[in-house]
Structure 1
Amino acid sequence: MWRVVLRPALLFLAPFLLYVAWLALSRTMPFARQHWGRTVVSNLTLLGLAVAVIGMLAFGIFADRRFGAYQPAHIENGVLVPGHIQ
């Protein structure tokens, strides 16, 4: 369940983290107010949304697909057999 939430959240936060890293490497104070104007934050937000959408589409397109019929969980000889794809 956490993978469903964390994957797009990390993709969205990637531009912000890269911007902070770039500011830190350029030896400026990364959390100073003058570096976080409205245009910077809005551009990073739009870029983060684009990265998250493109990343989730890429995960959906290139995900490992398994073909076959789903066998739901059932009980055999008193033992619970988990669901699987046959």
Structure 2
Amino acid sequence: MIRPVLTEVGIFLIPFAVYALFLLATRSGLVAQTSWPLRVIARLVLGSLLLVIASLVMLAHFSGAPPNSTYIPAHVENGKFVPGAEK
């Protein structure tokens, strides 16, 4: 469960990292308060939320089993463990 959460947190932080790289490239003050006005932070948060929503939609759409597939749970067959599978 921790991996999907960290993935989404990482996706959320991408616009902030890109903006920080922009500030470094333009030799602006990275930690200066004037480089991070509220308007820019609001746009970064909005862009981050859009990226997270898009990634969640893509995850729901393109992951998992195909429609109308049948899941066969893990079971023991002739004394041997058989993992679950999709058919």
**TM superposition score category, shorter chain reference:** 0.7 to 0.9
**Corresponding residue number in structure 2 for 1:66:** 66
**Is residue 2:24 matched to residue 1:24?**
yes
**Corresponding residue number in structure 2 for 1:82:** 83
Q: Which runs of 4+ in 1 moved over 6 A?
A: none
CA positional deviation for 1:65: 4.1
**What is the one-letter code of the residue matched to 1:85?**
E
Unaligned runs of 5+ residues in structure 2 are none
Instruction: Tell me how far apart the structure 2 counterparts of residues 81 and 15 of structure 1 sit (CA, whole Å).
Output: 44
Instruction: Tell me how far apart the structure 2 counterparts of residues 17 and 74 of structure 1 sit (CA, whole Å).
Output: 46
Instruction: Tell me how far apart the structure 2 counterparts of residues 64 and 72 of structure 1 sit (CA, whole Å).
Output: 15
Unaligned runs of 5+ residues in structure 1 are none
Higher relative contact order (CA 8 A, sep 6+): 1
CA positional deviation for 1:64: 6.2
Instruction: Give yes or no for contact 2:65–2:86 (8 Å, CA) kept in 1.
Output: no
| Aligned-residue identity in percent | 33
| Matched residue count | 86
Kindly report the root-mean-square deviation, in angstroms, between the aligned alpha carbons of the 2 structures.
1.8
TM-score (norm 1): 0.82
